[in-house]
Amino acid sequence: MSSATWTDDTAFETALSNAAREVDTVMDRLISVPPGPEARVFEAMRYAVLGPGKRLRPFLVMASARLFAVSRRSALQVAAAVEMVHAYSLVHDDLPAMDNSDLRRGRPTCHKQFDDATAVLAGDGLLTLAFEVLANRDTHGDPTVRCELVSALALAAGDQGMVGGQMFDLIAEHRPDLDIGAITRLQRLKTGALIAFSCEAGAILGKAPHDARLALRGYAHDLGLAFQIADDLLDVEGTPEMTGKPVGQDVIAGKATFVSILGVERARAQARLLVGQAVAHLDIFDANTELLCQTARFVVERRA
Ligand code: GRG
């Protein structure tokens, strides 16, 4: 385990909610509703991105940026961009053509609140706006850094990352025989890639050396898998009141998951092992790793 100190849970939760508030303020500013008929898509974008949620990916951006003394303003811009991509993925994932979900973050899904076509456009709008934000001078003074952020987010969100993972997941619904290696690859693409971008973003903004980036990539890899195992556990053990979304979906669909393959107890043990491994990757840093250490623990102990 890393030598980093662990502050108490209350301090961590306060840091998480403070960062969420700050990033929401930035997103609120970035998405204002114009007059005219197009207002509806802006309202749907705001509904999707400003609704309740943990803002875990923005927090990872802020926590990794802290390692390299990156300005809060730069980190918040990237944090907002990554949350927009995350919110777009949830909106599209909930559509009738994909998961066909009515409930997300304890509220009607975007297509239920608006309509299918508006939800498709809201997702498209959020994805596009994320890149506009990264390319903006406010994000970083150095255009090379901005270009690297754009490229890294495109890789994480696109066909070699989240989109590829989502395709794999849709196909996996008909493949209950998938083994642990296949499930690990699926989740690395579907949820891990965006989590990895969030962790590496601080290093990109801070022009950090290669070994620092590698360490963050290792941390993110283990964290992403632990996050997914926790999500699979919540699908089995949680309630819609706790998670704000339907539960038991994987079992109903007969999908292969970490929990269906390993069982509840081994899956939980594996998640805790991954947290230890994630934290160990941070040993190369001299200071400021507490938030990342605590995030790893939070990810497996969370109840939502
Ligand atoms: C549609 C291209 C496209 C991709 C969708 C990420 C994803 C791919 C779908 C989400 C479906 C899902 C429930 C995945 C499990 C892991 C996950 C991303 C959970 C939701 O993230 P949280 O727990 O949610 O961070 P909040 O609401 O707190 O932001």
Each domain of the chain, given as residue ranges in start order, spans: 12-301
CA torsion through residues 37, 41, 44, 45, sign:
negative
**Burial of residue 288, with CB atoms counted within 10 A of its CB: 0-12 exposed, 13-18 middle, 19 or more buried:** middle
How many angstroms separate the alpha carbon of residue 294 from the centre of ligand 1?
Answer: 21
Q: Which residues line ligand 1 (CB under 6 A)?
A: 53-54, 56, 86, 89-90, 92-93, 105, 162-163, 166, 190-191, 231
Alpha-carbon gap, residue 30 to 26, rounded angstroms: 6
Cβ(61)–Cβ(134) under 8 Å? no
The distance in angstroms from the start CA to the end CA of the chain is 26
What residues contact residue 66 under an 8 Å CB cut-off, 6+ apart?
75, 202, 288, 291
Q: How would you write the pLDDT of the chain (304 residues) with one tens digit per residue? A: 333 333 466 788 899 999 999 999 999 999 999 999 999 999 999 999 999 999 999 999 999 999 999 999 999 999 999 999 999 999 999 999 999 999 999 999 999 999 999 999 999 999 999 999 999 999 999 999 999 999 999 999 999 999 999 999 999 888 888 999 999 999 999 999 999 999 999 999 999 999 999 999 999 999 999 999 999 999 998 888 888 888 888 888 788 899 999 999 999 999 999 999 999 999 999 888 999 999 999 999 887 7
Q: Kindly calculate the radius of gyration of the chain based on its CA atoms and give it in whole angstroms.
A: 18
Q: Measured at the alpha carbon of residue 289, what is the angle toward residues 287 and 293, in degrees to the nearest 5?
A: 150
Alpha-carbon gap, residue 226 to 69, rounded angstroms: 27
Pairing of strands 107-108, 103-104: antiparallel
Q: 287: closest CA among 71, 79, 63?
A: 63
Partners of 103 in the beta sheet? Answer: 108
How many angstroms separate the alpha carbon of residue 89 from the centre of ligand 1?
Answer: 7
**CATH superfamily ID and name for 12-301:** Farnesyl Diphosphate Synthase (1.10.600.10)
How many angstroms separate the alpha carbon of residue 159 from the centre of ligand 1?
Answer: 16
Classify 104 as helix, strand or coil: strand
The structure tokens listed for 241 are 């009141």
Q: Which atom of ligand 1 is nearest to the CA of 93?
A: 1
